[in-house]
Amino acid sequence: MKNESLSLCVKCGTCRTMCPVFRVTGEEGGVARGKISILQALYNGDTRFSEETLDFLNRCVTCGSCEFVCPRDVPFLEIIEDAREKAVDDGQISLAKKIALKLISGNKGIKGTTKLAHLIPGESGLNFKIPLINRHIPKPGKPLDSILPDYSPSTGRKVFDVVYFPGCAMRYLYTDTAKHLVTVLNRLGVGVYLDFGQKCCGFPHLTAGDRKTFNTLSTHNSDRFSAFKEKADYIVTACATCGSALKNNYNLPMKVLDINELLVDVLDVHFGERTDGNGLATRFHHPCHLLKHQQVKTQPERILSELSDYEEMAGSDFCCGFGGSFSVFEGKLSRQIGDKKAKMVKQSFAEAGIKKEVLVTSCPGCMLQLTDSLKRNEIHVPVKHIIDIIFEQMEEPHD
């Protein structure tokens, strides 16, 4: 741990205004400055973490909200990753978490896990050990490997080619959305490469403190990307977490773009404003790993403004509480944060009238969490990825 990083924090408390854990629990140890104070005391003694300290370290979504508002630019995510790495090195990681990280480090493990999660009934006693099973989970589609070729050419005048990194969720769970992305890009003149030899981006391992596995996965994926250096102009993602990992933790031969950046900043696509909003009222949830880690905000807002009656939602940047493995191993807290977000969504749509209401986001993890949170709170608003909205509007005939 770099002591200078810890000493940057002056305990001003700005992080309290945005931290989703603190806003639910009100516990000082749940917020960034509280964790830093604990770590400063412990590192001075170079001791193993107590169970209470481990609990505080684990009660972090790693959303980056604290860094986003910090006036001192304290690298809190780096601090929490280093602390968790120390815990892993000291053998202070649960067997359940070790197994989970092992499963998602290989494609076969992820494929099997998504199928298992769907097959176990909602009232199963396994709910007490695997909180994620007690949630609304979409039926896994056929793996992307079996329904798309490794190259889909443009259907119109070719502009350039990209290599699409779908990530685990879109490769095995939200496969229809992944197909829609390829179709949309093909229609816009973009050829799309897929490399099914790639694995998890490794971000769950990095944030859990398993840096060794992250390094293995990032090296593997970087080597695979190198094969496309002369074929594709960009690497494209539609998962905010994967995009954040590739941009901020990889050294790649091509520029990485989120799908919203590609459509707006590079292709400059305009969908034409609809005077009636096309009968669709949308609100956008800004994924933490998209807004706070990649600074992508205005692009999806422009797209939705052209395709629908879009208004910014109060709390649009408030974390949904997913956080990958956080939603599994801190399930109760994750659901509490999700409940808070659900209330924000309900309030935002209160004035939408009779139009069809859709909550839109741009991260499959957020889609999973938001869908579950809304259903548990009996808020009947569907959740869709922005690429699905674009695809549907392209398919719909217009005068």
337, pLDDT greater than 70: yes
Q: Mean pLDDT of all residues in the chain?
A: 88
pLDDT recorded at residue 128 = 45
Residue among 229, 232, 248 at smallest CA distance from 289:
248
**How confident is the model over 343-363, as pLDDT tens digits?**
999 999 886 566 789 999 999
Strands (E), 194-346: 234-237, 255-258, 280-284, 309-310
Given a contact cutoff of 8 angstroms between Cβ atoms, the answer to whether 329 and 321 are in contact is: no
Given a contact cutoff of 8 angstroms between Cβ atoms, the answer to whether 153 and 223 are in contact is: no
Give the residue-averaged pLDDT of 154-159. Answer: 91
**How confident is the model over 96-151, as pLDDT tens digits?**
888 888 877 776 656 666 666 555 555 554 444 455 556 777 777 788 988 999 99
pLDDT recorded at residue 100 = 82
Name, in order, each residue with C-beta under 8 angstroms of 392's C-beta and a sequence gap of 6 or more. Answer: none
pLDDT recorded at residue 336 = 96
pLDDT-wise least confident of 102-106, 278-282, 330-334: 102-106
pLDDT recorded at residue 378 = 93
pLDDT recorded at residue 384 = 97
Full-model pTM: 0.91
**How confident is the model over 72-94, as pLDDT tens digits?**
999 999 999 999 999 999 999 88
Q: Which domains does the chain have, with CATH numbers?
A: 3-89 (1.10.1060.10), 144-266 (3.40.50.1860), 277-395 (3.40.50)
